[in-house]
Amino acid sequence: MRKSGLHVVFLGTNPASKSGGIANAIPGYISALDFVGIESSYIVTHDSSHWSGKVIPWLRSFIFVISIMFRSKESRLIFYLHLGGGWPSVLRKFGIGSFLRIFRATVVYHLHGPEFDEYLDNRVKRLALKAALSPADILVVLTPWWERRLTTSGFKKNIRICPNPLSQELEEKANTKVAKLIRAREINVLCMTRLELGKGVDRFIRAMAELPNYYRGVVAGSGSRRDELFQLVLELGLEDRITFVGWVSGSNKQQLFEESDLFCVPSTYDSFGMGYIEAMANGLPVVALRYGAIPDVVAHGKTGFLSHSPNPREIADCLRRLEDSELRRDMGLAGRIWVLKYFSLAAVGNRLASILSQVK
């Protein structure tokens, strides 16, 4: 495809770490821009896989930024910074953004962290966030819910919406549109997320206790609550029905999707939920909560069910509704179509191109 004359420089966490939604989404953003003919490069500002990853990559990024500015004579540069949750990420990007403004560079901030929701509820944190985001020409958010959240909180800056994209591998998987294998009776439910407060793994475990014995659960992920959650499984007598497999990636992760019938993460701590679109791309109906931005990602009654309440019994009711194998098949196929329509490389690439064309 013919190149646009535009060069987008992404800055954010190391994609190779595969730690969190941003790291998993970054390769998709690069592929999405390539799909629409926009050149891009990537500068790592944070690497959670190394003890020095919060400082050294950030300091190096200033050198890389200067190098790109002096080398790129024929392309128009846009610096596109992905902000994760937490003040350290915000302050790192504020430092880089402020530095770029000295050179009158064009700056875009893309907000990802669920922490931003809490910051907006606190007047002091809200004012601090406004100041920290001031270097940006445009703010990009992940879903319409986030746009409403910022505008109703008094943010006047130019706000645009662009969701996280599928990776090339997941897009290929979604394009197969092959119905999941229907098992005779056993229903395998996958809960894949970080084992931290707010991610809802405890709710998932308690919901499993409300279900018949032929519902089997797999918890995939690592985190500080692992021992506490395993103890909850023992207390509820679910050790024969729920298995912990730890952090997974690559072919092991893909195998879990293929061996599962449903995906359930009843989280109240997600800015988007990459796991949901990964599950739908693999033909798994999703059970989650009607909370925050999640209804923008999972289509209730079409690609899964969203519980109005975090009560484990109501989550279990949603899982029981998917006991019907034909409904699981239909929702699985609908999920594949849904993610290809809204989160494919073409959809996200065109959305990004539209946003970048508005930057002066």
| Domains in the chain: ranges and CATH | 6-165+344-357 (3.40.50.2000), 169-342 (3.40.50.2000)
Rounded to whole angstroms, how far apart are CA atoms 260 and 218? 9
Q: Is 348 within 8 Å of 32 (Cβ atoms)? A: yes
- The pLDDT of residue 174 is 94
The CA R_g of the chain, rounded to the nearest whole Å, is: 21
Nearest in space to 30 (alpha carbons), one of 16, 19, 20, 50: 16
| pLDDT of amino acid 54 | 78
Sole residue written with tokens 């109240």:
268
pTM for the full model?
0.93
**% of the chain at pLDDT higher than 90:** 82
Q: Which of 117, 200, 182 is nearest to 152 (CA)?
A: 117
What are the structure tokens assigned to 241, written together? Answer: 């029905």
| Cα-Cα end-to-end distance for the chain | 24
Q: Which amino acid is at 128?
A: A
Mean pLDDT, to the nearest integer, of 90-114?
95
Average pLDDT rounded to a whole number, residues 310-338: 96
Is residue 2's pLDDT more than 60?
no
130 by Cβ neighbours in 10 Å (0-12 / 13-18 / 19+) ranks as middle
Task: Report the run of H or E that residue 156 belongs to, with start and end.
Answer: none
pLDDT in tens, 64-80: 999 999 887 767 899 99
Given this model, what pLDDT does residue 188 score?
97
Per-residue pLDDT of 195-253, as tens digits, reads 999 999 999 999 999 999 999 999 999 999 999 999 999 999 999 999 999 999 899 99
Q: Is 288 left (phi over 0), alpha (psi -120 to 50) or beta?
A: beta
Q: Give residue 46's pLDDT.
A: 86
How far is 72 from 226, CA to CA, in rounded Å?
A: 47
What's the mean pLDDT in 108-132?
A: 96
- With b meaning 16 or more CB within 10 Å and e meaning fewer, what string describes 217-243? bbbbbeeebbeebbebbeeeebeebbe
Q: What pLDDT, on a 0 to 100 scale, did the predictor assign at position 256?
A: 97
**What is residue 108's three-state secondary structure?**
strand
As a whole number of angstroms, the distance between CA 357 and CA 137 comes to 12
Where on the phi/psi map is residue 337: left (φ > 0), alpha (ψ -120 to 50), or beta?
A: alpha
> Please, which residues have CB within 8 angstroms of residue 12's CB and are 6 or more apart in sequence?
22, 26, 42, 44, 45, 46, 81, 82, 83, 84
- Are 310 and 289 within 8 A, CB to CB? yes
Tokens 């931005």 sit at which residue?
293
Q: Mean pLDDT lowest for which of 50-59, 214-223, 301-310?
A: 50-59
